[in-house]
Structure 1
């Protein structure tokens, strides 16, 4: 019985960890604000997350699980005008470390650069006077990151991904803004998955986010967000694994312009429910943004 539970746990782990970096397309409130053409942004992110529970099909796996991650992202954004529409070509380069702990220490660790992400938002609604924006963003994730099929933890996924995301910002009361974001992600195959060099395929994943921001002043806001992600089932060599994910989480935080061109952001959050994979009990996000 113990061996059966252990084998089931390992299968659940590998399915969950194969898509761990896929959660990186969560956005911060205000990201769908269109800035004037010619504006450039340089951003640095840092995220520390701790996970202390493991779930399979909605039930806790009977093991003391642990997985910590320290991940950074370098991001560059340029705003430009194309045919009267504001567009912002950008790139994101993640990097960091994942480390198994406690009863899942056998996972080892993984570090290095993640997969490069290329993106560009096109704003179909851009009403600065009314603080109302609507944009559509295609994201292309390229398999450039560090990947070792013999390791359970990798920053790179060794597959291409395409995400189409839409974001909407509107005021709902004086000094209060609502951000709504939704996306869908489709996956290429990883044809070198695991020690047997199997083919890993995955069905489409879906995400939705909602954020409220209270603008304390022109230079500061406080915010709260809720996120729901449904990750597609994975298949290894054509065999389905029954590992469709369904995660709900929240965060709380604030931003502050320490000077006219420099903004600091800090949020804290955690998962409230997880169907498959690790459950985060704490996630801290920090961001430094420079406008030039």
Structure 2
């Protein structure tokens, strides 16, 4: 069961343009949807024999408002995840789960917001509240029964006329889950790190295309003090694009997959959709 811990051991993925703030006074509502399929399971870098399967359909409802505090643009926001996961084949004993995940509060602050030079630098703290559905008897859960705090830094720079590079790094700190598994053990987790890079081409103000690469490492867990040797080393890539289908409505599509996984399930395909409405 230790190999399944990295399912919950994820940092915060960003979309292209996330660290380019909207003008002061803007409010945006976003709906995310991700469908991911996994048919391989790894432990210590080696594939676990068997016919494994885990499918997830997860969404996030997000509301953000851009304002100014002390002369800096700030974007306080709330994120509410929801969805379902279902295991099958040789891993069908894991069962399934559905419902609402842990609510997330965030408030990115932009230290550099220079539209003229196309340079942006932001810092975003995220606080995870243990509000989601959790059952210690279920191997799969959308809630984690613990507090988490993530600190993310994002840098965006315009290069040639239509090219942008976007670099993001973050670190996740985990609280304890004192109701873990059938034995109600105490789960602790080391810091989890992630680095992300986007290269975006802006065809017009309405349309763009991008490629991305992400690397996650760290996050080994301990159950009642016993290390699980389950550090979450994961490399993944995606390609996609965004288009404003209306003056204030954008649709973004990304296709991706895991390139390498050290422990846990490996995604063989992932589809991300995001609908954003600006008010």
Q: TM-score range by the shorter chain?
A: over 0.9
3-state SS of paired residue (2:135):
coil
Mapped to 2, the partners of 1:12 and 1:33 lie a distance apart of 37
Equivalent position to 2:13, from 26, 31, 40: 26
What is the deviation of 1:102? 1.1
Counterpart residue number, 1:70: 57
Instruction: Please show how residues 201-280 of structure 1 align to structure 2 within 5 Å.
Output: 201-280=188-267
Matched, 1:11 2:17: no
Mapped to 1, the partners of 2:164 and 2:36 lie a distance apart of 27
Matched, 1:198 2:188: no
Instruction: Please show how residues 1-292 of structure 1 align to structure 2 within 5 Å.
Output: 10-13=1-4, 15-17=5-7, 19-20=8-9, 22-23=10-11, 25-292=12-279
Normalising by structure 1, we get a TM-score of: 0.94
Mapped to 1, the partners of 2:125 and 2:223 lie a distance apart of 27
The structure whose residues are more often helix, as a share, is: 1
Mapped to 2, the partners of 1:257 and 1:203 lie a distance apart of 40
Instruction: Tell me the alpha carbon deviations over residues 174-231 of structure 1, each in whole angstroms, 9 at most, x when there is no partner.
Output: 2000000000001000000000100000000000000011111110000100000113
Mapped to 1, the partners of 2:26 and 2:59 lie a distance apart of 23
Mapped to 1, the partners of 2:123 and 2:277 lie a distance apart of 23
Normalising by structure 2, we get a TM-score of: 0.98
3-state SS of paired residue (1:217):
coil
**Are the aligned partners of 2:2 and 2:230 in contact in 1 as well (CA < 8 Å)?**
no
Query: Structure 2: which 5+ runs fail to align?
Result: none
Runs of 4+ displaced beyond 2 Å: none
Count of residues paired in the alignment: 279
Mapped to 2, the partners of 1:260 and 1:33 lie a distance apart of 18
Mapped to 1, the partners of 2:168 and 2:236 lie a distance apart of 15
What is the deviation of 1:42? 0.2
3-state SS of paired residue (1:130):
coil
RMSD: 0.8
Counterpart residue number, 1:5: none
